């Protein structure tokens, strides 16, 4: 009965010499490649679906002081899979592009959803009505009207700064600033 020829013996019989370190280098290279691919995938996920932004201005005082930082997400309310889907609702804090200048980003609280009535007018389909918490110093829907939902970029999830006042829920974000 003939002995099976080992793969290494076949390679050396063909005149190709393989260094010994290849035995551990090839699996290590595969691990490094998997780590790099995973890191790039995670980076893409974080860049596309999450952001940490800083609040500027006085429109959300006293709830949020200028310089407060938030973790925002866009995945859950834009996703079509029911397991991950979470609709925007009244009381959510959102970051959106200004209807007047798309380069400006505003941070406001959703005061009314489509179909709700505000000051005798109905919020049209595909729009939200937003207000700043500091009504005297806020440029909001009272000035530029209802905001198209497609201008909303992110929903605030967690306030991460100032340090001791973390808030894990949009409903608790408002109460944590007092």
How does DSSP classify residue 99?
S
The residue from 12, 31, 59, 80 that is catalytic is 59
Give yes or no: 176 in active site.
no
Token pair listed for 42: 């995670």
Sign of CA dihedral 90, 139, 61, 120: negative
Cis peptide before 62 (omega within 30 of 0): yes
Give yes or no: 103 in active site.
no
Give the sheet arrangement for strand 50-54, strand by strand.
50-54, 69-73, 152-161, 93-97, 105-112, 127-131, 147-148
Burial of 175 per CB tally in 10 Å (0-12, 13-18, 19+): exposed
The residue from 17, 98, 103, 108 that is catalytic is 108
- Catalogue the active-site residues: 59, 108
């Amino acid at each position: 009965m003939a002995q099976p020829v080992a793969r290494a013996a076949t390679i050396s019989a063909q005149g190709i010499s393989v260094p010994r370190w290849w035995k551990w280098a090839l699996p290590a290279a595969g691990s490094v490649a998997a780590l790099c691919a995973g890191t790039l995938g995670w980076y893409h996920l974080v860049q596309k679906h999450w952001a940490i932004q800083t609040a500027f201005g006085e429109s959300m005082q006293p709830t949020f002081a200028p310089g407060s930082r938030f973790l925002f997400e866009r995945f859950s309310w834009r996703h079509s899979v029911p397991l991950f889907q979470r609709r925007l609702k009244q009381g959510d804090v959102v970051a959106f592009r200004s209807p007047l200048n798309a380069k400006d980003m505003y941070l406001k609280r959703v005061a009314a959803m489509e179909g709700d009535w505000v000051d005798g007018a109905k919020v049209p389909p595909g729009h939200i009505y937003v207000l700043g918490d500091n009504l005297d110093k806020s440029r909001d829907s009272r000035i530029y009207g209802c905001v198209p939902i497609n201008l909303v970029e992110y929903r605030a999830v967690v306030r991460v700064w100032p340090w001791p006042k973390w808030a894990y829920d949009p409903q608790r974000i408002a109460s944590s600033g007092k």
